[in-house]
Amino acid sequence: MALPVVVGVDGSARALDAARFAAEEARRRGAPLHLVTVVAWPYDGLTATPPDVDLPALLDETGAAVVAGAAAAVTAPEVTTSVRTGDPVTVLTDLTADAQLLVLGSRGVGGVAGLLLGSVAGAVVAHAHCPVLVLPDDTAVVMRDRRSVVVGVAGRSDDDLVLAVAFAEAASRGSDLVAVHAWQDVVLEPEARMLSPLVDWAGALSDEERALSEALAGWREKEPDVVVRELVVRDRPARALVAASLTAEVLVVGRRHRRALGSTPHGVLHRAVCPVVVVPLPAGADR
């Protein structure tokens, strides 16, 4: 059986958008959809409760209403729901062990609120076992008729894991794929700019173009129906990826195995105006 697409909901309008987006992802992937709400327990800020109130039962009932409302708002071949209690980061991270994708909204009320910029999102994305798709703040930029899937290619041996997700997204959407390779030389640092006239920039650019072409070569053969456009730019990766994805349907980046979220996924999640898929890379992957 296909692993599910899991989406965190909390009763907010943005969470409903995430549920609908997740349902579309599940439909394209032929996967079941699982909606979950996380009730933080012990309940933060609780100082006292009337003796005749069963607070855990009340919270469970509220959570059940939240996921039921989300389920009623989506259309998918197979939908399941659950209410979990505990630390939201721990619960959501644990769910990614048996999911093919976790979808989170950028902001909401309670539970998993403030996911795009908040500590919960950063912790979940940094420790997730499967790709995590985070929706952007829909009030930042309005762009109609978005096209293309954008993927960041680092030029390392683990690029295939990121490209597999990106090509699958492009194929399922009938979209082209923009492969971005951003390279950064020490000359970009202010104290080293005096060396710039001594650098063979044409040769360096040629080497970076070759690295991107080699990373894509096998995938062009596996996915001949996906039109691929290559973009090589001398810039910081997060800035280059955000610029390239301004009109994109989705942006795909890798996340290396570290305690904290790396600078590129962190920068992209804070600034992107399209959905971002963060793909976990295994321990021992190239630094």
How much is the pTM? 0.85
* Residue 229, both tokens: 């456009």
Per-residue pLDDT at 190 exceeds 70:
no
> Which residues are CB-contacts of 32 (< 8 A; sequence separation ≥ 6)?
1, 2, 4, 5, 26, 76, 77, 78, 79, 80
Per-residue pLDDT at 191 exceeds 60:
no
Per-residue pLDDT at 199 exceeds 90:
no
Q: What domains can be seen in the chain, in order of their start residue?
A: 5-134 (3.40.50.620), 149-280 (3.40.50.620)
CA dihedral 145, 71, 272, 213 (to 10 degrees): -70
Q: Which residue has the higher pLDDT, 207 or 102?
A: 102
Q: What is the mean pLDDT of the chain?
A: 83
pLDDT tens-digit readout, 134-161? 988 765 566 677 889 999 999 888 899 9
Q: Round to whole Å and give the CA distance between 22 and 74.
A: 9
Q: Which of 124-138, 155-169, 174-188, 240-254 has the lowest mean pLDDT?
A: 174-188
pLDDT tens-digit readout, 55-114? 667 667 777 888 888 888 888 889 999 998 888 889 999 999 999 999 987 654 444 433
Calculate Rg over the CA atoms of the chain.
Answer: 21
Q: What is the pLDDT of residue 105?
A: 79
Percent of the chain with pLDDT over 70: 78
Left (φ > 0), alpha (ψ -120 to 50) or beta: where does 130 sit?
Answer: beta
Q: Round to whole Å and give the CA distance between 106 and 90.
A: 18
